[in-house]
Structure 1
Amino acid sequence: MAHFSRRGVVAAAAAAATTLVSGCGGVTATPPRPARPSAPGGDARGRMPARPTALIGDGSMADTGAQPFQPTPQHLEPGQRPPQFVVFSWDGAGEDSKKLFSHFRAVAQETKATMSFFLSGIYVLPEGKKDLYLPPGHEPGASDIGYLADDHVKMTLEQVRLAWLEGHEIGTHFNGHFCSPTTGVGTWTPAQWRSELEQAIGFVEKWKTNTGYHDMDPLPFDYRKELIGGRTPCLLGQNQLLPTAAAMGWKYDASSPGGLQMWPGKKLGLWDFPLQSIPFPGHSFQVLSMDYNMLANQTGGTPKGDPSKRPYWQQQAYGSYMAGFNRAYTTNRAPFFVGNHFESWNGGIYMKAVEQALRDIAAKPDVRLVSFRQLVAWLEAQDPAVLAKLRTLAPGQAPGDWRDYTGGTPTAPAPARTPART
């Protein structure tokens, strides 16, 4: 799907080209990766499990109880090395003829991964009803990304339903993806963000009314209660969004560009999960941990670059993901964040690169492939003093003794031994 206009993200990519700045826990066990059913969803046909169901509103959603396959957050033991958390997230998650949403759900099943899918609200709104969308500062129905074909709207709804039943998070990528420096999301006020967010929720709450697909199963959750975070279009407008997000009960935001590979803190009471600057093979600068930012640095934003260079670009993207992962995994164990889109830019090389990285990372010991929602739950189960200490570790800084950071008594140096007389 043609996901967004280029200008704002090219700017974010340019900002990401920086030189390196140097610089989950009281039970023994760390959270296990959740077990998955052998077939997506409930039974072999993907139907919802047999649980009490209370329809919500027009029947677009239903209260089916707690989300399945959620790990129980564990408190770090004193001296314990944190597990390596990795979050793979998808902006504007939707299903079209490329079927990348369903593909990566299958990959998640195979790797025992949980992911965050950031749904664009207009992806569940038929184009014939686009005038229901009232974007701030724009004409009714305007959008800088395309509306999905009706059958793709239906496919997207089904993917969202199954993804939640498998334990994945359904966040938001808002709606129209406006990146203009004069009228885009970077210029919006908190009140305009409130309007945009209420509409993104509303399209999910009333998809049956808007689509007429009354024979489809409801989404098995209350989106207004379920939604605790997302990522803004073009990585713009976070400062104006946060007051609105906090007032609506969000727990985190993942919109910051150019963050460092350090343990996260909070902004205005919300966990701040930025895209991170990671090594970019062949260059002295770093790149944001997102497919489009690699594309912008490789081809200047052209999604159809020189086919002869695609194998190198794919390997470079894969190498960048792995370099970012390994830097955290072997040193400060800061959570690693990857953002991507269901796109086929440059022949789909970024999809291949991120899948290869995901599979290789999943095979490493002590790795937890989680959603942002699950990471929030783990962070909030920890001692704030321990998290504050972990935040003092710079990117690539390995602790001499984890007890200096997660508690316990550091090992005292052994006393010098006096040679025995002979």
Structure 2
Amino acid sequence: MTAPRRVILCVATSAMALAVTGCSAELKTKSPPDDEQKRLAVPEGVSADKIRLIGDGSTADTGRQPHQPPIRKLKPGEKPPQFVVFSWDGAGEDSQRLFSHFRAVGNKYDARMTYFLSGVYVLPQDKRKLYAPPQHSRGSSDIGFNNLKGIRATLEQVRLAWLEGNEIGTHFNGHFCGPNGGVGTWSTAEWKSEIEQAEFFVKNWRTNAGLDKAAPLPFDYSKELIGGRAPCLEGQKNLIPAAKKMGFRYDASSSGGRQVWPSKLGGIWNFPLQEVPMPGRAFETLSMDYNFLANQSGTVRGDPSKHAIWGKQMRDGLLAAFDRAYHGNRAPLFIGNHFESWNGGTYMRAIEDVIKSVCKRDGVRCVTFRQLTDWMDAQDPQVLARLRGLEVGEAPKGGWAAFMSAQPAAPAGPDSSVRKKGGKGGKSVKRAD
């Protein structure tokens, strides 16, 4: 019997400490000098003469991304890997230095991650008029813009993250939510404009920020950008056709997904946040830090005496979700996060504990959405259809060898795993800051 659900949408995602109007936060250390940035821009083993600068030199084609896993079809009788995807909304580096911290955590525990970069995090405040958000005045943004120190710091982390094998996706730009011009009200044409602008800001930060001597990002963003997550998990219906036109191969904007094998929606892979256990409660919530917070304190500055309890609840809930997949249907687990110190940073500590606990286990692959997309595209559609037939936590009754050796079922329709629901459940909790 399925547990009751109390799913709360992430209605206001990452707003970095420095990405508020005025951009007053300062970094604690200086950015690396240009010669160091130049070193960081080149993948190991790639000579400088093989690098092709793109446009104003903000980005560059340096060849194949390093540290990518081999992709192959499952063999008959082979148990599928247990994929886990850790993703970060609005990824940027501020004085908390959480981006650099979790890069180090990922390297230590062999976890590649997806970083959804907000385009306005590489756009300085004095160039805000370059942004023309749908249904809002030019130069407006609900998460502000950045300062030069913040832009340098964020670009350094983006550069290093990609060189280490991580993915740079998009969280789009101004983070507009709700019924009054929020992303959920945007048309497909407006979404296409938003995607084009997000791509433009990343491909032209050198000019926009006046950092003409800084090293380029070591990738062609037009090729790198194959997916994103919409602010507030809103607007997917009209986003999907725009994303498809822009060459996206997946979308991670859906809410309330179940822990079953994913399918395509509108021609691209649908990777939703999933309903996961809320230990000690009679409902499940979405697999994102903000949603645990919303069900616990309803504020980012809750009772300090409960911080440890709330962090443990999130950690245990995510580990329970992992266990029921790992010992059950092996469906990929999707976990969303923000670089925020909400409730004393308890959710950051919980995520780090989960990474430590699962990413080194046998058969587990902590991958990016891009790497999962590549793997899914390489599989026999009939094998994927068979996997989709397994329910949440359901292991094959005759064992994996027999299940994966059997004659595959006929492929299901592209949207077969998307269930119609009567409502989103629970209440929507606004951010307090």
TM-score, normalised on structure 1? 0.86
Question: After superposition, where does 1:13-412 map in structure 2 within 5 Å?
Answer: 46-49=40-43, 50-51=46-47, 52-300=50-298, 302-400=299-397, 401-408=399-406
Partner of 1:29 in structure 2? none
The answer for unaligned runs of 5 or more in structure 1 is 1-9, 15-41, 411-422
Q: Secondary structure at the match of 1:337?
A: strand
Distance 1:309 1:215, change over 3 A: same
Distance 1:130 1:68, change over 3 A: same
Q: Distance in 2 between matches of 1:287 and 1:81?
A: 28
**TM-superposed deviation, 1:403:** 4.0
Report if the CA contact (8 A) 2:261-2:332 is conserved: yes
CA displacement 1:141-189 (0-9 Å, x = unmatched):
1111132232011100111111111110000000001012121000000
> Which amino acid is the alignment partner of residue 302 of structure 2?
G
Q: Distance in 2 between matches of 1:45 and 1:193?
A: 36
CA-atom RMSD in angstroms: 1.8
Q: Which segment is superposed worse, 372-381 or 71-80?
A: 71-80
CA displacement 1:347-388 (0-9 Å, x = unmatched):
111100000111111131110010000001111111100000
Q: Secondary structure at the match of 2:9?
A: helix
Q: Distance in 2 between matches of 1:101 and 1:64?
A: 23
**TM-superposed deviation, 1:80:** 1.1
> Which amino acid is the alignment partner of residue 143 of structure 1?
S
Q: Which has the larger radius of gyration?
A: 1
CA displacement 1:244-280 (0-9 Å, x = unmatched):
1111111100000010000000001100000000001
> Which amino acid is the alignment partner of residue 309 of structure 1?
K
> Which amino acid is the alignment partner of residue 220 of structure 2?
D
Q: Distance in 2 between matches of 1:406 and 1:120?
A: 41
CA displacement 1:57-87 (0-9 Å, x = unmatched):
0010111011111111121111111110000
Distance 1:275 1:345, change over 3 A: same
> Which amino acid is the alignment partner of residue 389 of structure 1?
R
Q: Secondary structure at the match of 2:53?
A: strand
Q: Distance in 2 between matches of 1:363 and 1:349?
A: 23
Q: Secondary structure at the match of 1:380?
A: helix
CA displacement 1:289-333 (0-9 Å, x = unmatched):
000000000012x10000001110011011111011111001000
Report if the CA contact (8 A) 2:228-2:251 is conserved: yes
Report if the CA contact (8 A) 1:130-1:141 is conserved: yes
Q: Secondary structure at the match of 1:128?
A: helix
Q: Secondary structure at the match of 1:334?
A: coil
The answer for unaligned runs of 5 or more in structure 2 is 1-6, 12-35, 409-433
Distance 1:82 1:124, change over 3 A: same
> Which amino acid is the alignment partner of residue 48 of structure 1?
V
**TM-superposed deviation, 1:44:** 12
Q: Distance in 2 between matches of 1:106 and 1:61?
A: 24
Q: Distance in 2 between matches of 1:298 and 1:273?
A: 25
Identity in percent:
58
Report if the CA contact (8 A) 2:143-2:174 is conserved: yes
> Which amino acid is the alignment partner of residue 375 of structure 2?
W
Distance 1:404 1:264, change over 3 A: farther
CA displacement 1:205-262 (0-9 Å, x = unmatched):
1100001111211011110111100000000000100111111111100000010000
Distance 1:13 1:102, change over 3 A: closer
Partner of 2:412 in structure 1? none
Report if the CA contact (8 A) 1:89-1:338 is conserved: yes
Q: Distance in 2 between matches of 1:75 and 1:174?
A: 33
Q: Distance in 2 between matches of 1:179 and 1:348?
A: 24
Q: Secondary structure at the match of 1:88?
A: strand
> How many residue pairs align between the two structures?
373
CA displacement 1:125-150 (0-9 Å, x = unmatched):
00111111110000111111132232
CA displacement 1:20-67 (0-9 Å, x = unmatched):
xxxxxxxxxxxxxxxxxxxxxx99964523331011000101110111
Report if the CA contact (8 A) 1:403-1:409 is conserved: no
Q: Distance in 1 between matches of 2:116 and 2:407?
A: 42
**TM-superposed deviation, 1:404:** 4.9
> Which amino acid is the alignment partner of residue 333 of structure 2?
F
Q: Distance in 2 between matches of 1:354 and 1:289?
A: 11
